[in-house]
Amino acid sequence: MINEKRLIDLFISFVETSSESGKEGKFRDLLITEFARRGINAKEDKAGEILGGDSGNLLVYIPGTINATPLLFSAHLDTVKPGEDIKAVVQEGLIKSVGPTILGADDKAAIAAIIEAYDVLIENNLDYPPLELLFTVSEEQGLKGAKAFDYSKIQAKMGYVLDGGGSPGNIILKSPAQNEIKFHIYGKAAHAGINPEDGINAINLAAKALASLPFGRIDEETTINFGLISGGKASNIVADYCYLLGEVRSLDKIKLDNITDKMVSTFTNSVTEQGGRVEAKVTLLYPEINLNPKDEVVTIVTHAAQNIGLTPILTNTGGGSDASIINGQGINCANLGIGMQNVHTIDEFISIEDLVNDTKLILAIIAEYIRHKGA
C-alpha cells in the first residue's frame, strides 16, 4: 500500500528545505502547501512571535471516518546546524547528505511518514479516528515550541511523538526531568599587576566551587553537566563576575531535586567562604516521563509493532523530547524510535527500510487504536 518512491521523494523535498531552529518558515510554508493539496488546513500559532523565530507551531486537525476521541501524532519542524542547503542522495538503501551538512531525518523522516500514512488511508478507503497532528518549532533549542503551544486546542487523550533513537519498534517508557542551573558569581575588581591582592577573582571562585561538585553520570538514572562558562573583562583586571550554565537530569524527580539543592548549597557555601557572592537560579526545563508497559498508550503501539512484524523494544533515554512536555499537559504520550542514525552530525542517515517501517507503524497504530477503542 505504501508508495515507496512517493515517500522518498517527499522526504527528500523536506530535508532539502532548510529549517534550522528559529528559521522554520520555508518548511512551514511547504507543509501548509502539502496539506492544502490534500484539502486540509494547517493552522499556525503565535509561537514564532513569542520565541523570536519566523514560524509558529502547526496544528492539523483531520476529521475521522469513525466517531472516536482524536489520536495525536507529533514531530518537530526544526533541525540543528549545519542545516542550510542540504542535498540528499539515495545510496545502497540509505538516504544521506552529499555535502557538509546534517541530513535532517531528525525529525523530517517522521513528518514524511505521517503524510504518506495519511495518503495510504485515503487511497485505500481505510477507517481512521480523528487525527491531530502537532508540528513544533525550536525543539532542538530546549523544546521551546512545545512549551509555547496552547494545549487547550488538543482534544486527544493520548498520542505519539516520532522523534526517538533506535529503529521503528523502540518505545521510550522513561525519560528524565531536567533542571537548568545558572550561577552568577560576583567577586571584586582590581588591577591584576599592581594590586591583585585587593581583588577577588570571580573566575577563581567559580573554579574552586565547581571542583567540589559531581560531574558526569552519577548513577543509572542521573547525570550532571556544566557546559558554559564566561566572565571577566580583560587579562589585566581581576575578574569581578563569572557566569556558569549547567544541568541536572534524572529519571527520578525526587532525586533530581535533592541533588540540585545539594549542588546549589555546596556551590554557594564555597563561593561565600572565599569572600564572594553568588546568585543561583534553578529552572525545571521539562518533567519526567514514567510510562508503564501496561499503559494503554504503550500496549497499543506494542501490539501495532507486532502486527507488522516489528519487535517492540521497551527502553529508557537520558534525553528530553516534546513527549516530555505533552505528557506534562496530561496527554499520555510515548516517544517512538524512527531509525534516524548519527543525528546532529554530518554523517546522519536513515535507511529506506526504516522510513517505510515508520509509515507502516503509524498505520498500524491507527488500526490498533480503532480496535482497542472498539470503534
In three-state secondary structure terms, 300 is helix
Q: Which of 21, 25, 29, 58 is nearest to 43 (CA)?
A: 58
Strands (E), the chain: 42-44, 58-62, 71-76, 88-91, 94-97, 131-136, 158-164, 170-175, 177-186, 216-219, 222-231, 241-250, 277-286, 289-290, 313-316, 332-337, 349-351
- Single-letter code of the amino acid located at 321: S
| Residue 127 annotated among the catalytic residues of the structure | no
Catalytic position from the list 139, 140, 358, 368? 139
> Left, alpha or beta for 247 (phi > 0: left; psi -120 to 50: alpha)?
beta
C-beta separation of 159 from 291 below 8 A = no
> Left, alpha or beta for 120 (phi > 0: left; psi -120 to 50: alpha)?
alpha
φ/ψ (deg, to 5) at 308: -110, 15
In what helix (H) or strand (E) does residue 252 lie, and over which residues does it extend?
Answer: none
Q: C-alpha angle with apex 242: 271 to 285, nearest 5 degrees?
A: 90
Distance CA 348, CA 338 (A): 13
Catalytic position from the list 20, 78, 107, 140? 78
All three cell numbers of 215: 560531574
End-to-end CA distance of the chain: 23
Number of residues that this document lists for the chain: 375
Distance CA 375, CA 372 (A): 8
| Residue 132 annotated among the catalytic residues of the structure | no
Q: What letter does residue 192 receive in the DSSP assignment?
A: T
Could you tell me which residues come within 8 angstroms of residue 331 by beta carbon, excluding any fewer than 6 positions away? 72, 151, 154, 156, 157, 158, 159
Could you tell me which residues come within 8 angstroms of residue 96 by beta carbon, excluding any fewer than 6 positions away? 88, 89, 103, 347, 348, 349
Active site residues: 78, 139
